[in-house]
Structure 1
């Protein structure tokens, strides 16, 4: 069976946020150790408060593979990676990317292996 050119989508966008928590002295670090918990709580609350829950999926993920750059989140289908450090950064991502279809350019992170 061939895949259709376009599959029906559950959400317009889907945010995956790393929730990995490693011990403080772990050599790879972790998003959780770098304060992700409070940021992701803020993100979930903002998605709901702005009425975006029906069109924006929000999933806590395991390690996204770039631990030293965290906290990290990635938004699909665009595949844009962000490295927010403050609640104001979360607000900017919600207001610009999720609500206004614009990049929060100063928070975009370009990763390479």
Structure 2
């Protein structure tokens, strides 16, 4: 695998009875699978890594997705949002504004 131009991290943290909830409880496993499926469908393996992760921030606003090198944090992501993130951000270079975590969170 070559060095990726972008790296997408999807939080799949699932702490039991966490007071702020968890990304896993908010569907992050399905989001991760949607990213992997979209990557496969597009054959977008060169230059793009997709990795599940532990906690990356605001548990109460998950499912959370973090894109590097831009340090863009998306919140409340659903599987239905994945194709839009691919088209706009991962291919087009423009983050999806409606899903961005506000500066007060990130």
TM-score computed with the length of structure 1 as normaliser: 0.82
Structure whose alpha-carbon radius of gyration is higher: 1
Alignment match, 1:14: 7
Specify the SS of the correspondent of 2:98. Answer: helix
Alignment match, 1:96: 88
Q: 1:15 to 1:51 in 2, by over 3 A?
A: same
Matched, 1:45 2:37: yes
1:22 and 1:33 in contact (8 A); partners too: no
Displacement of 1:86 in angstroms is 2.6
Specify the SS of the correspondent of 1:54. Answer: coil
> What runs of 5+ residues in structure 1 fail to find an aligned partner?
1-8
Within 5 Å, give how 1:1-80 maps onto structure 2. Answer: 10-23=3-16, 25-80=17-72
2:9 and 2:51 in contact (8 A); partners too: yes
- Matched positions, count: 104
> What runs of 5+ residues in structure 2 fail to find an aligned partner?
none
Q: 1:111 to 1:29 in 2, by over 3 A?
A: farther
Question: Take 2:19 and 2:14, find their aligned partners in 1: how far apart are those partners?
Answer: 13
Q: 1:57 to 1:107 in 2, by over 3 A?
A: same
Question: Take 2:76 and 2:90, find their aligned partners in 1: how far apart are those partners?
Answer: 14
RMSD across aligned C-alpha pairs, in angstroms? 1.7
